[in-house]
Structure 1
Amino acid sequence: MLVQSLKKDCVMALVYEFVWRILHALLHLQRALISWFRVRLWNWRLWKRAVAALLVPLALGFQNHKKLGSSAGKQGLRRVRWGADGKSLEKLPMHVGLLIVEEELHYTDIANLVVWCMAVGISYVSVYDHQGIFRRNNSRLMDEILKQRHDLLGLDSAKHSLEFLNNRNEKQDHQVLSCQAVVKALSPDDGKPSIVRAAQELCRAVEEKERRSKDIDVHMLDAVLRGSVHIPDPDLVLKFGSLESTLGFLPWHIRLSEFISLPSHTDLSYEDFFSALTRYATCEQRQGK
């Protein structure tokens, strides 16, 4: 019994030693494999980075070229669409007033609106804010309009001529008649104060015997207010802002104007602009009846 027990212990010891050696060998094999994979993985990353360094500039160049081509194509399609949109309306306003009753004014957004008006075929655009900021910064507004005309209309910008009216050139009606679009920046001084000045002018004319008091009527006052350049009254006024007031915008000229309110002129899309024109085209104007 003792001999059998010793033999059994020896066999178990040999088995344990064999198993331990196998496990030790597997451990070394695992470490070797991990080291090999790390080296291969590092080399693969190096290769991947090298290939990316070569291919990325080519890919970016192709994408930029594709974007430039697609953007130019989209601009052309937009220009064609804008012209077609204007012709599709039953009624297109000849004169649009842009009435901004917001505190913050954005020149680029207003310039976009003016260019869209030109693109659909509107002949006169008046821009008004109650602080007179656009009127005082008339040259900045006009520079932005010219820039956006070039950016939005591209090669077609030459087809859309512009005339900017201010106090110095309002009497140059021969230039106005030769232009496709006339733009004017207005302020509260063009509202009630202009009516007062016209009335004072008529009174002085009566005092100096240049006119007779019985000849003064609405039509004469209207002629004095308009001066030598006849710009039609606004057919449509787009009011931007939540304030329910015209804030002195041309009280004499808007008797028959259609008003459409929009939340803001900031980031206004062409779709929102054209939707307002569509509302105007489908509205029934009673002409004061």
Structure 2
Amino acid sequence: MATVSWLRVRLQTWRGRFWQRTVAALLLPVPVTEFPDYLKKARDYDGKGAESRRSRWISDGNSLKKLPVHIGFVVAEEELSYTDIANLVVWCMAVGISHVSVYDHHGIFQKNHVCLQEEIVKQQQSLLGGDDSRYNMDLLKNNTDKPQHFVVSCRPIVKVLSPEDGKHSIVQAARKLCHSVEKKEWSAKDISVSMLDILLRESKNTPDPELVVKFGPVNSTLGFLPWHIRLTEFISLPSHKNVSYEDLFTVLQQYNACQQRLGQ
């Protein structure tokens, strides 16, 4: 009998502790980070988030009196992040910049332009939503100007450049002038800076970049379109990794505030 009584007391004690723990667990606040992934995705990708972001970015673009038509991103870092560059391209789309150039000194982005293209499309769908054709793009590689991604809209244009598009294009244009003189199509007197300028602009078929954002510690343009940056505003950021929209918009605000005297 003593043993039975002892077991009854232990059972009642265990039941009491069990219910206390159960009630306490139900009353404790659940951290947001512990919500299931599918609930967080449903909350973040219900379409309202993308619409809100689009509205904000369009409003930010409209708030600037001076917005570059062509912006260049020069990456002077050894490790490259396709996702971060894709985010920059998508943000430029959203604020209303129609030409974007991506450049690194080793030409890695150009060699892997398909990976960059896929990442841009992925981030476009994630940040802007996948049902807005206004943000479709043409991705051009090298100086062939042949679209690598066929789209409904021709805006914006994304170019992936390498050193071959810089000094090398100047050398090619100079050779073309020399061959024309040899063939007596032109005379030596016809060769001028303006003629070389015409040839280079025909090969690029894009406006000069008004703004270039350089990422990394190197104080150099690294050969980025040397002929086309005579009037370009350069702004440096420490790194393109983990770059935020606020970083980009701050740069655009700096460009909006700068006064270009153009030699005056």
- Which of the five TM-score ranges fits, normalised by the shorter chain? 0.7 to 0.9
The structural deviation recorded for 1:200 is 0.8
Which amino acid counterpart does residue 251 of structure 1 have in structure 2?
Answer: P
Corresponding residue of 1:270: 245
Cα distance between partner residues in 2 of 1:33 and 1:135: 77
Corresponding residue of 1:146: 121
Deviations 1:237-282 (A, max 9, x none): 0000111111111111000000010111101010111000000001
State whether structure 2 residue 135 is matched by structure 1 residue 160. yes
The alignment partner of 1:214 has SS state of helix
Instruction: Classify 1:113/1:60 alpha carbon distance in 2 versus 1 (closer, same or farther; 3 Å).
Output: closer
Deviations 1:120-161 (A, max 9, x none): 000100100000001111111111111111111104541112
Q: Which runs of 5+ in 1 are unaligned?
A: 1-30, 53-58
Report runs of 4+ in structure 1 exceeding 4 Å deviation.
Answer: 31-34, 45-49, 59-63
Q: Any conservation in 2 of the 1:107–1:144 contact (CA below 8 Å)?
A: yes
What is the aligned counterpart of 1:238 among 204, 213, 219? 213
What is the aligned counterpart of 2:229 among 229, 254, 270? 254
Normalising by structure 1, what TM-score? 0.77
Which amino acid counterpart does residue 248 of structure 2 have in structure 1?
Answer: F
Instruction: Classify 1:45/1:232 alpha carbon distance in 2 versus 1 (closer, same or farther; 3 Å).
Output: same
Cα distance between partner residues in 2 of 1:153 and 1:70: 10
What is the aligned counterpart of 1:128 among 93, 103, 106? 103
Cα distance between partner residues in 1 of 2:103 and 2:183: 35
Cα distance between partner residues in 2 of 1:171 and 1:212: 32
Which structure: greater helix fraction?
1
What is the aligned counterpart of 2:52 among 69, 74, 77? 77
Q: Any conservation in 1 of the 2:76–2:104 contact (CA below 8 Å)?
A: yes
Q: Any conservation in 2 of the 1:83–1:119 contact (CA below 8 Å)?
A: yes
Aligned-residue RMSD, C-alpha: 3.2
The structural deviation recorded for 1:212 is 1.8
Deviations 1:191-215 (A, max 9, x none): 1111111101100000001112212
Which amino acid counterpart does residue 206 of structure 2 have in structure 1?
Answer: I
Instruction: Classify 1:109/1:75 alpha carbon distance in 2 versus 1 (closer, same or farther; 3 Å).
Output: same
What is the aligned counterpart of 1:98 among 59, 73, 84? 73
Q: Any conservation in 2 of the 1:256–1:288 contact (CA below 8 Å)?
A: no
Cα distance between partner residues in 2 of 1:87 and 1:139: 32
State whether structure 2 residue 86 is matched by structure 1 residue 111. yes
The alignment partner of 2:213 has SS state of strand
Instruction: Classify 1:43/1:235 alpha carbon distance in 2 versus 1 (closer, same or farther; 3 Å).
Output: closer
Cα distance between partner residues in 2 of 1:207 and 1:259: 40
Specify the structure having the higher radius of gyration (Cα): 1
Cα distance between partner residues in 1 of 2:234 and 2:135: 26
Alignment of 1:23-102 (within 5 A): 35=10, 37-41=12-16, 44=19, 64=39, 68=43, 72-102=47-77
Cα distance between partner residues in 2 of 1:189 and 1:229: 12
Normalising by structure 2, what TM-score? 0.84
Which amino acid counterpart does residue 226 of structure 2 have in structure 1?
Answer: P
Q: Which runs of 5+ in 2 are unaligned?
A: 1-5, 28-33
Percent of matched pairs sharing the same residue? 52
Deviations 1:173-226 (A, max 9, x none): xx99x6111011111111111111110110000000111221221221112112
